[in-house]
C-alpha cells in the first residue's frame, strides 16, 4: 500500500526518468539497482507470489515455504481468491493457466467456461432481434458451465506435488472462520455488489448484513456454505462439483430460474491442455494463451509489427511510440473480430496471424505522421462500459517453475447469482460470445460468426497469462484483468521491460494506453504529457483520458537469479511477497 500511494504521487518523476531512458538509441538493460531505479520491485530469493489480494498471496507463499511447487501455490491461491476476492476469484467461473517449468517446457491449461448443450445462436436476442445485454449479463442464461475447479484439479494432479485437499485447506479455513474485509472488497460490494447481488436472496444473505448494508472494511465475512462446498471438493475431488452435491445445487438453481446448465453439462465439462502461442521479440521468447483466448495471438501479432520500428529510439511515452503501438493494436483487434473463436469449433489461423511476414505487411501500412481511421479498416458501433474485474496472479518457485493464471466471473461478482446453498457465485461469461454480429459486448468488442453462441463452445476471451523467456530461461511472468484492455496491458508490460529497459515495478507503474480499433479512440491514462497528447491528436488520434486500466501482478527473474515482483499500484490491497 505504501508503494501504491508513492507510485501514484510520482507519475511526473517516473515520466521524467522514462523520457531520459527513451533518448538512448538501443534498448537499455533492465536495471535492478536501488539507486538507479525510480520504482522498486519486491525482491526475494526463493519463491514469490503476486496477486490482487494480500491474504491469497500469503496462502501461496505458505505453500511454497512448505515445499509445494509453483503449481501447488497457484492452485491454492486460486481457491483462496474464490473466498477473499469474490469480485473475480471463483469456483463458478473459468480461466487460463500458463506454465513454464524449470526445464523450459511450456503448456497452457484452458478451463474456460462452456456454453450449455441447450444454448443457441440467437439466445441473447430480444423479440426485435436486438442483442439484450441483460440476458447475457445478469440472467441465469448468462452463466457458462464453470471450469475453474476442473482446471485447478487438472493442474494439481498433473504438475503439482501436493494433494488437492491440502491446497484447498487454506481456502476452507478462510471461508469457515471468516476473514477481515479489505478496502477493495468493501468498495466493490458497495458499488457493483449493490447492483448485481442484492437482487438474489442467496447472494444478499452472504455479502450483506442483517441491516441490509454490505460488509464494510474491517468487518469479518464468514461464508459457511462456500466452506462446505470447498470441503466437499477436498473430500471427493472435482466430481463433487461436476457430478455430486454441488452439481445438484447448480442444476436446480438453473432449472428453477430459466437457466440452461444441467447435470449433463457439468458432467461433460473438461479442462484441456493446449499448446501455448509462442513468438519472438527482439531476441526474447514469448509464450501466451492460445484460443479460446485471443490474447496470445494478438500480443505476438502486435509485437511482430512493433519489431519493425525502433521504439527504444522513439522513447517511452513519445507521440511516435504511442502512434505506432496504437495503430498496430487497431489491425490486431480488427482481425480478432473476424478470425478468433473456440478452436474446437472454428479454424483459427494462428500461424498466419502470428507470422513475421504478415506483421511486416501491416507495419508497412502504419504511417508515423497520420492515423488510418478505424472506419477504413472495418466498420462497427459500440457501447461504453466500465468494469474491472477478473484477476491475475503469478507464481515462481525456488526451482524456477513459473505459473501465470488469469481467471474470472467476467464482470464484478459475475451474474450476481449464487447457486442454491452452494455459496458459489456464478459467472456471466456468456456475454463474451458475440450475441449478434457487429453488436459490441460489455467491453465494446465486436465479433462475428467465429464467436457466435453454439452448444458446448467456449466464448472468446482476452485473458492473456504470459511468460517471457530470455536465453532459454524464464524472465517475466505477467498478466492482467481489464476485459478488452488485457491484451494491450500485457503488451505494454513486455514492451516497457524489453524496449524501454524498465524494471518490473517501473513497467507496471508506467502510464498505459489502449486502442481496440472500435471505438476509434485512443484511451490513455493520466500521466502522459499534454504536449504528447496534442501531437497524437495532430496525427489524427482521438485521444480520451480515462480511468486506470489493468491490474498486473508480475514477477521478473533477474540476472542474479533473484525474484523481482510488482503488484499494480492502480489496485488497493494487492500484494507481492516471497521468501
Residue 408 annotated as lining a ligand binding site: yes
409 assigned binding-site residue: yes
- For Cα atoms 481, 485, 490, give the angle at the middle one, nearest 5 degrees: 70
Name the β-bridge partners of 97: 109, 405
* 8 A C-beta contact, residue 98 and residue 466: yes
112 appears as a binding residue in the annotation = yes
Site for ligand DON in 365-394 (CB under 6 A): 387-390
Q: Which of 262, 482, 501, 578 binds ligand DON (CB under 6 A)?
A: 482
**Dist CA 147 CA 497 (whole Å):** 32
CB nearer to ligand DON: give 166 or 458: 458
- Which residue reads 461433460 in cell numbers? 268
Q: Minimum Å distance from CB 481 to ligand DON?
A: 4
CA–CA separation, 287 vs 490, rounded Å? 12
H helices within 180-244, ranges in order? Answer: 183-188, 194-196, 201-207, 224-236, 239-242
- The answer to whether 84 and 53 are in contact (CB under 8 A) is yes
* DSSP structural state of residue 52: S
Binding residues for ligand DON restricted to 71-110, rule: CB under 6 A: none
Binding track, positions 546-565, relative to ligand DON; x by CB under 6 A: --------------------
Which residues ranging from 485 to 504 are in contact with ligand DON (CB under 6 A)?
A: 486
Nearest CB to ligand DON, comparing residues 311 and 487: 487
483 is in an annotated binding site: yes
Residues 388-447 that bind ligand DON (CB under 6 A): 388-390, 408, 410, 429, 432
Kind and range of the H or E element at 530?
helix 530-539
Helices (H), 237-355: 239-242, 245-256, 263-268, 295-306, 311-314, 319-339, 350-353
DSSP-derived secondary structure letter, 76: H
Q: How far is the CB of 406 from ligand DON (least distance, A)?
A: 8
Nearer to ligand DON, 398 or 406 (CB): 406
Clarify whether 107 is annotated catalytic: no
If we measure between CA atoms, which residue out of 134, 500, 117 comes closest to residue 325? Answer: 500
Angle, CA 346 vertex, CA 341 and CA 349 arms, to 5°:
80
Least distance (Å) between residue 562 CB and ligand DON: 30
Which residue of the set 38, 138, 390, 411 is catalytic? 390
237 has binding-site annotation: no
12: Cβ contacts below 8 Å, ≥ 6 apart: 527
Among 483, 511, 565, 569, interactor with ligand DON by CB under 6 A: 483
CA nearest neighbour of 429 among 465, 391, 390 = 390
- What is the closest distance, in whole angstroms, from the C-beta atom of residue 458 to ligand DON in the complex? 10
Out of 57, 374, 461, 516, name the contact with ligand DON by CB under 6 A: 461
3-state DSSP of 445-514: CCCCHHHCCCCCCCCCECCCCEEEEECCEEEEEECCCCHHHHHHHHHHHHHHHHCCCCCHHHHHHCCCEE
* Binding segment (CB under 6 A) for ligand DON, from list 206-214, 457-465, 525-533, 561-569: 457-465
- Minimum CB–partner distance for residue 328 and ligand DON (Å): 20
Q: Which of residues 315-344 bind ligand DON (CB under 6 A)?
A: none
Among 89, 237, 315, 481, binds ligand DON (CB under 6 A): 481
* 462 appears as a binding residue in the annotation: yes
Count of residues in contact with ligand DON, rule CB under 6 A: 15
Torsion (CA) 119, 121, 125, 130 in degrees, nearest 10 = 160
Stretch that binds ligand DON, among 58-66, 240-248, 276-284, 477-485 (CB under 6 A): 477-485
In angstroms, give the least distance from the CB of 427 to ligand DON: 8
Q: How far is the CB of 479 from ligand DON (least distance, A)?
A: 10
Of the candidate residues 332, 463, 502, 509, the single one contacting ligand DON (CB under 6 A): 463
Which residue number, 262 or 479, has a Cβ lying nearer to ligand DON? Answer: 479
Residues 469 and 301: their CA atoms lie apart, in Å, by: 17
Catalytic residue annotation: 390
Contact residues for ligand DON, defined by CB under 6 A: 387-390, 408, 410, 429, 432, 461-463, 481-483, 486
- Cite the annotated binding site by residue number: 112, 408-410, 432, 461-462, 483
- Cite the annotated binding site for L-glutamate by residue number: 112, 408-410, 432, 461-462, 483
Amino acid at each position: 500500500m505504501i508503494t501504491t500511494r508513492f507510485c501514484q504521487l510520482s507519475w511526473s518523476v517516473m515520466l521524467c526518468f522514462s523520457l531520459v531512458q527513451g533518448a538512448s538509441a538501443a534498448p537499455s538493460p533492465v536495471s535492478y539497482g536501488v539507486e538507479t531505479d525510480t520504482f522498486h520491485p519486491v525482491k526475494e530469493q526463493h519463491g514469490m507470489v503476486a496477486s490482487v489480494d494480500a491474504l491469497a498471496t500469503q496462502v501461496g507463499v505458505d505453500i511454497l515455504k512448505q515445499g509445494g511447487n509453483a503449481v501447488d501455490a497457484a492452485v491454492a491461491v486460486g481457491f483462496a481468491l474464490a473466498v477473499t476476492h469474490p469480485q473475480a476469484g471463483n469456483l463458478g467461473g473459468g480461466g487460463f493457466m500458463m506454465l513454464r517449468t524449470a526445464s523450459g517446457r511450456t503448456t497452457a491449461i484452458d478451463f474456460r467456461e462452456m456454453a450449455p448443450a441447450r444454448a443457441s445462436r440467437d439466445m441473447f436476442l430480444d423479440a426485435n432481434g436486438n442483442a439484450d445485454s441483460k440476458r447475457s449479463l445478469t440472467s441465469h442464461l448468462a452463466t457458462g458451465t464453470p471450469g475453474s475447479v476442473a482446471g485447478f484439479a487438472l493442474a494439481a494432479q498433473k504438475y503439482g506435488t501436493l494433494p488437492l485437499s491440502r491446497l484447498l485447506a487454506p481456502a476452507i479455513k478462510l471461508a469457515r472462520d471468516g476473514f477481515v474485509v479489505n478496502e477493495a472488497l468493501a468498495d466493490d460490494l458497495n458499488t457493483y455488489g449493490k447492483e448485481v447481488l442484492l437482487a438474489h436472496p442467496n447472494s444478499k444473505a452472504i455479502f450483506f448484513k442483517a441491516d441490509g448494508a454490505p460488509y464494510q472494511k474491517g468487518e469479518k465475512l464468514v461464508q459457511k456454505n462456500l466452506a462446505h462446498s470447498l470441503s466437499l471438493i477436498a473430500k471427493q475431488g472435482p466430481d463433487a462439483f461436476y457430478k455430486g452435491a454441488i452439481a445438484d445445487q447448480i442444476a436446480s438453481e438453473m432449472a428453477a430460474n430459466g437457466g440452461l446448465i444441467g447435470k449433463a453439462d457439468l458432467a461433460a465439462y473438461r479442462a484441456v491442455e493446449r499448446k501455448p502461442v509462442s513468438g519472438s521479440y527482439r531476441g526474447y521468447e514469448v509464450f501466451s494463451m492460445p484460443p479460446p483466448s485471443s490474447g496470445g495471438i494478438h500480443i505476438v501479432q502486435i509485437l511482430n509489427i512493433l519489431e519493425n520500428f525502433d521504439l527504444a529510439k522513439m522513447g517511452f511515452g513519445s507521440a511516435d511510440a504511442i502512434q505506432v503501438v496504437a495503430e498496430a493494436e487497431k489491425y490486431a483487434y480488427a482481425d480478432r473480430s473476424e478470425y478468433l473463436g473456440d478452436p474446437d469449433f472454428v479454424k483459427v489461423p494462428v500461424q498466419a496471424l502470428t507470422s513475421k511476414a504478415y506483421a511486416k505487411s501491416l507495419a508497412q501500412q502504419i504511417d508515423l505522421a497520420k492515423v488510418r481511421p478505424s472506419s477504413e479498416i472495418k466498420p462497427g458501433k459500440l457501447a461504453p462500459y466500465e468494469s474491472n474485474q477478473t484477476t491475475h496472479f503469478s507464481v515462481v518457485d525456488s526451482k524456477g517453475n513459473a505459473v501465470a493464471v488469469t481467471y474470472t466471473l467476467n464482470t464484478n461478482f459475475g451474474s450476481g447469482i449464487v447457486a442454491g446453498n452452494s455459496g458459489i457465485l456464478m459467472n456471466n461469461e456468456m456475454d463474451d460470445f458475440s450475441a449478434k454480429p457487429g453488436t459490441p459486448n460489455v467491453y465494446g468488442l465486436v465479433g462475428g460468426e467465429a464467436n457466435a453462441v453454439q452448444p458446448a463452445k467456449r466464448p472468446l476471451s482476452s485473458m492473456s497469462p504470459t511468460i517471457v523467456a530470455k536465453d532459454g530461461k524464464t524472465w517475466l511472468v505477467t498478466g492482467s484483468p481489464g476485459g478488452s484492455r488485457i491484451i494491450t496491458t500485457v503488451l505494454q508490460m513486455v514492451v516497457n521491460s524489453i524496449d524501454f529497459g524498465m524494471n518490473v515495478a517501473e513497467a507496471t507503474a508506467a502510464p498505459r494506453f489502449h486502442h481496440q480499433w472500435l471505438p476509434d479512440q485512443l484511451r490513455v491514462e493520466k500521466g502522459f504529457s499534454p504536449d504528447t497528447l496534442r501531437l497524437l491528436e495532430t496525427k489524427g488520434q482521438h485521444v480520451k483520458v480515462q480511468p486506470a486500466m489493468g491490474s498486473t501482478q508480475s514477477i521478473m527473474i533477474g540476472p542474479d537469479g533473484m525474484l523481482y515482483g510488482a503488484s499494480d499500484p492502480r489496485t488497493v490491497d494487492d500484494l507481492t511477497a516471497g521468501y
